Amino acid sequence: MASSLGLAIAYATIVGLASILSSGAAPTTDASRHTFNWDRTKYMYAFGDSYTFVQGTEGLATFSFIGDAFNFSFTPQELLEDEIVPKSSSSDGSSWTEFLTGCFQGKPSDCAPHQLWNFAFAGADVDKALLPLHHNFTVDLVDEVKQWVQFASHVVPHPAAETLVAWWIGINDTGDTLNRNLTETDFKAFWEQEMHSLFGAVQNAYDHDLRGTYLFFNVPPLDRSPDHLGTAVAPKYAQNILDYNAALAAHTAAFARAHPDVIVLSFDAHAWFSRVLDTPAQHGFTNITGFCECTDPGFFWFSAYV
């Protein structure tokens, strides 16, 4: 179990979801709406980056469950026969999506009671029109959704009452923009462009009947990751992340208002990571400043940024 962070995320997520369930209401959910029911949730879909992706036998090794930019299409059979490879996340353990669903390996359709259909691609930014792809084979979030629309939406069911869709992106975007010499005002305008792309992709999913519950994650305090902690760029990184998260919160609320048929939940990953990093001993961590690509459970960080 090398995945210190993976475990932290999974723990945070499950605790977060559990408290949402037990309180019966989520922060951004209108009480008059139908409520989220995890027990009834049979299909979990996920879009995002390396924090979220799982390895598939039909995916690009260390990057995806299925396909890549050069191999964008897949057949229904390839999708349905695709198997999750266990413990092949970016932190060497399982992804938080696997901890949450209990779908750790094999064909997602064999998982019960929660199937995991994960279209996240490691290294993804929101939109290649705004930030260059990390690799020429990278699938950005906008294209992850297009891929789902074109090749998966008619193959795997997604009845609204049984569907949870997770969105976790921005981690690479807030890091990739660090060397940009923009004013705070220019940065805020840039994050607005990012939100336009992100919520355009969310709308694309919605327009193709991927509904039910949407769960949005914000960006954790990666200014506290081993390769940035205490460096000269850390304050700018921290600000980037706060600005991105503020834009995300505003647009998530606007999306919820405009789509009353969707249950919109937010998970404050920034607050959770901050809490664990502020009180590591309470969470079983002995080292929060360095990283260790090893099985020592005391390390919060598995690598320089995961």
Ligand X SMILES: *[C@@H]1O[C@H](CO)[C@@H](O)[C@H](O)[C@H]1NC(C)=O
Question: Where does this chain bind ligand X (CB under 6 A)?
Answer: 50, 58, 71, 74, 78, 122-123, 134, 136, 171-172, 175, 181, 222, 287, 289-290, 292, 305
- For the bound state, the minimum distance from the C-beta of residue 289 to ligand X, rounded and expressed in Å, comes to 5
Using the minimum distance from each CB to ligand X, give the nearer residue, 81 or 261: 81
Using the minimum distance from each CB to ligand X, give the nearer residue, 102 or 290: 290
- For the bound state, the minimum distance from the C-beta of residue 306 to ligand X, rounded and expressed in Å, comes to 7
- For the bound state, the minimum distance from the C-beta of residue 175 to ligand X, rounded and expressed in Å, comes to 3
Pairwise CA distance, residues 27 & 233, whole Å: 33
Using the minimum distance from each CB to ligand X, give the nearer residue, 27 or 132: 132
Using the minimum distance from each CB to ligand X, give the nearer residue, 48 or 175: 175
Q: What burial class does residue 221 get, using C-beta atoms within 10 Å of its C-beta: 0-12 exposed, 13-18 middle, 19+ buried?
A: buried
Sequence-separated (6 or more) residues with CB below 8 Å from residue 189:
none
Contact (CB, 8 A) for 217 and 267: yes
- For the bound state, the minimum distance from the C-beta of residue 50 to ligand X, rounded and expressed in Å, comes to 5
| Closest chain position to ligand X (CB) | 290
Pairwise CA distance, residues 153 & 71, whole Å: 18
256's enclosing H/E stretch is: helix 234-258
Using the minimum distance from each CB to ligand X, give the nearer residue, 120 or 222: 222
Using the minimum distance from each CB to ligand X, give the nearer residue, 32 or 70: 70
- For the bound state, the minimum distance from the C-beta of residue 270 to ligand X, rounded and expressed in Å, comes to 14
Backbone Cα Rg of the chain: 18
- For the bound state, the minimum distance from the C-beta of residue 152 to ligand X, rounded and expressed in Å, comes to 13
Strand runs labelled E in 154-268? 163-168, 213-217, 263-267
Output the six-digit token pair for 69.
């930019």
Q: Which residues pair with 43 in a beta bridge?
A: 115, 163
DSSP string, 148-176: HHHHTTTTS---GGGEEEEEE--HHHHHH
- For the bound state, the minimum distance from the C-beta of residue 213 to ligand X, rounded and expressed in Å, comes to 27
Using the minimum distance from each CB to ligand X, give the nearer residue, 180 or 257: 180
Strand pairing report for 263-267 and 213-217: parallel
